[in-house]
């Protein structure tokens, strides 16, 4: 499969009377965008604002972040969700790099996140560096929680498609090609390179804890193989509002750092076989089935090594170490990527489970680390929502000085377990 990504570097975003890009400046017709988004019968009101790097702007509570794109050749949009179509992963896509659709609003539950565009908060979220088109969604009254969540999710995806049209005729700054043949073809080309699979765990636990593969709730599938270009092309989207620090937004799926890094090594140090999408289920029986099917798939595909990334923490820690043990016990070397829930002082047990076979672990940071976020000049959303975010509490917001005191839990992307974040590791 061959995926050609044509990059258009965005250096500013403004409102105007059309959609387009000129010399790096993305213009958005706000009125036309709102008009199209209000065609969703479950949406009552839409507000659109812009948030740019360096501004003292706070965005809260965030549901999802999506990268706007335009498909030149191939399956456009989000197949199985916003439109029908053949699988993603092949073709040509124009990408508005550094632009992002950020959805906010009252999103049913309590676990959304915060993005600060400046200061201490900006250090922790990668989305402080994107030019954000903030879509504030008010659904109609009387929706069920599932209808409410779907209205917000679909609005964000459609907004990214509409804005993505601006990339159609824009000047291309860079072209990146991701290409890989069948497993048989790649094995013949690289017979002496170790065969590596990426097992990507996905939150799959119901309302506000869902992920979708071609529109199918991952809780309803067994571990499934994807060609790595499929995820980079929109096959996987976020439907979850778990702890903001390590939820994988749709934007992060579109730019999965692990997949990109393995592609860099493919044909040089490794033979990258592909991706196994692994649902994180809540029942013990489900966890055993998921482990066994993941191990079987990796073994049958001939893997010598597997990289496993987690989404979330707590009970998914069990899935993580069970999969590691299952693979190691049949001779497949395993590397785990996870964050830690180690308490404010960093001294608590980092994972909820442990096994002796989990011996190669990459940490993406401590979700419990406390930060103080100074007063914003402008808030998009509701600053008092911090009290209901994972990582926040009643009293996190100080109305006297406008500051927030919260754990990294509350900051979007702060400890991303696919490596799409700003944190670095210091070896001591």
Closest-CA residue to 58 (of 417, 414, 412): 412
Question: What distance in Å separates the CA atoms of residue 259 and residue 197, rounded to the nearest whole number?
Answer: 10
Question: What distance in Å separates the CA atoms of residue 4 and residue 277, rounded to the nearest whole number?
Answer: 23
Question: What distance in Å separates the CA atoms of residue 261 and residue 382, rounded to the nearest whole number?
Answer: 37
Select the more confidently predicted residue: 112 or 29.
29
What per-residue confidence (pLDDT) applies to 111? Answer: 58
What per-residue confidence (pLDDT) applies to 109? Answer: 60
Average pLDDT over residues 162-183: 96
Angle at 403 between CA 400 and CA 409, to 5 degrees: 140
What per-residue confidence (pLDDT) applies to 237? Answer: 94
pLDDT digits 0-9 by tens, 42-65: 999 999 999 999 999 999 999 999
Question: DSSP class of residue 278?
Answer: E
Q: What is the mean pLDDT of the chain?
A: 92
Q: Is the pLDDT of residue 349 over 90?
A: no
Q: Is the pLDDT of residue 307 over 70?
A: yes
Beta strand 209-213 pairing with 216-217? antiparallel
Q: What percent of the chain has pLDDT over 90?
A: 77
**Do the Cβ atoms of 226 and 303 come closer than 8 Å?**
no
Average pLDDT over residues 362-369: 90
Q: pTM for the whole thing?
A: 0.95
Chain CA centroid to CA 287, Å = 23
Q: How many residues does the chain have?
A: 428
What per-residue confidence (pLDDT) applies to 348? Answer: 82
**Do the Cβ atoms of 276 and 223 come closer than 8 Å?**
yes
Within 13 Å and on the Cβ side, how many CA atoms surround 221? 21
Tokens coding 68: 């706007």
Question: What distance in Å separates the CA atoms of residue 238 and residue 250, rounded to the nearest whole number?
Answer: 5
- Strand arrangement, sheet containing 25-28: 12-15, 25-28, 20-22
Least confident piece of the model among 127-131, 152-156, 313-317: 313-317
Question: What distance in Å separates the CA atoms of residue 18 and residue 32, rounded to the nearest whole number?
Answer: 8
Query: What is each CA distance from 190 to 4, 96, 181, 331, in whole angstroms?
Result: 23, 34, 12, 21
Query: What is each CA distance from 98 to 202, 230, 392, in whole angstroms?
Result: 25, 21, 28
pLDDT digits 0-9 by tens, 103-136: 998 766 655 799 999 999 999 999 999 999 999 9
Catalytic residues: 241
Q: Is the pLDDT of residue 24 over 80?
A: yes
Q: Is the pLDDT of residue 285 over 70?
A: yes
User: What is the 3-state composition of the chain as percent helix, strand, coil, each rounded to the nearest 5?
Assistant: 25, 35, 40
Query: What is each CA distance from 7 to 68, 98, 169, 234, 236, in whole angstroms?
Result: 11, 10, 12, 16, 20
Phi, psi of 162 (to 5 degrees): -65, -45
- 224, β-bridge pairs: 277
Q: Is the pLDDT of residue 428 over 70?
A: no
pLDDT digits 0-9 by tens, 1-22: 999 999 999 999 999 999 999 9
What per-residue confidence (pLDDT) applies to 389? Answer: 85
Average pLDDT over residues 352-375: 89
Tokens coding 267: 């044909």
**Which residue pairs, CB below 8 angstroms and at least 24 apart, start in 45-48?**
45/137, 45/138, 46/135, 46/136, 46/137, 46/138, 46/155, 47/135, 47/136, 48/133, 48/134, 48/135, 48/136
Tokens coding 198: 């990426």
What per-residue confidence (pLDDT) applies to 102? Answer: 97
Reported as a pLDDT band with limits 50, 70 and 90, residue 95 is very high
């Amino acid at each position: 499969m061959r995926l050609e990504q044509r990059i258009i570097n965005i250096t500013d975003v403004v409102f105007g009377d059309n959609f387009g890009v000129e010399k790096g400046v993305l213009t958005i017709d706000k009125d036309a965008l709102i008009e199209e988004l209000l065609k969703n019968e479950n949406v009552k009101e839409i507000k659109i604002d812009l948030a740019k790097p360096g501004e003292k702007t706070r965005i809260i509570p965030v549901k999802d972040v999506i990268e706007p794109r335009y498909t030149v050749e191939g399956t456009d949009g989000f197949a199985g969700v916003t439109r029908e179509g053949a699988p993603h992963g092949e073709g040509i896509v124009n990408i508005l790099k550094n632009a992002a659709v950020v959805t906010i609003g009252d999103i049913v539950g309590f676990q959304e996140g915060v993005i600060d565009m400046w200061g201490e908060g900006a250090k922790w979220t990668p989305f402080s560096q994107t030019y954000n088109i903030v879509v504030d969604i008010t659904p109609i009254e009387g929706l069920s929680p599932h209808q409410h969540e779907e209205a917000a999710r679909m609005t964000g995806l459609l907004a990214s498609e509409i804005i993505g049209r601006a990339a159609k005729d824009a000047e291309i700054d860079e072209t990146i090609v991701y290409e890989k043949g069948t497993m048989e073809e790649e094995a013949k080309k690289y017979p002496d390179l170790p065969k590596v699979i990426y097992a990507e765990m996905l939150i799959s636990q119901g309302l506000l804890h869902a992920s979708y593969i071609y529109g199918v709730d991952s809780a309803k599938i067994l571990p499934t193989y994807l060609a790595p270009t499929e995820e980079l092309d929109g096959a996987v989207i976020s439907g979850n509002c778990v702890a903001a620090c390590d939820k994988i937004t749709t934007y992060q799926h579109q730019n999965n750092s692990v997949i990109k890094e393995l592609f860099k090594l493919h044909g040089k140090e490794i033979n990258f076989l592909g991706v196994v999408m692994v649902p994180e289920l809540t029942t013990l029986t489900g966890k055993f089935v998921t482990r066994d099917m993941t191990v079987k798939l990796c073994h049958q595909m001939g893997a010598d090594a597997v990289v496993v990334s987690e989404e979330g923490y707590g009970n998914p820690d069990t899935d993580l170490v069970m999969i590691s043990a299952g693979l190691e016990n049949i001779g497949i070397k395993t590397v785990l990527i996870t964050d830690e829930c180690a308490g404010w002082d960093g001294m608590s047990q980092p994972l909820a489970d442990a096994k002796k076979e989990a011996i190669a672990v990459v940490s993406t940071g401590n979700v419990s680390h406390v930060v103080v976020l100074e007063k914003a000049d402008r808030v998009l959303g509701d600053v008092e929502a911090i009290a209901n975010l994972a990582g926040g509490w009643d009293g996190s917001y100080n109305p006297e000085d406008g500051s927030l005191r919260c754990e990294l839990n509350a900051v979007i992307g702060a400890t991303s377990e696919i490596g799409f974040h700003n944190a670095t590791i210091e070896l001591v």
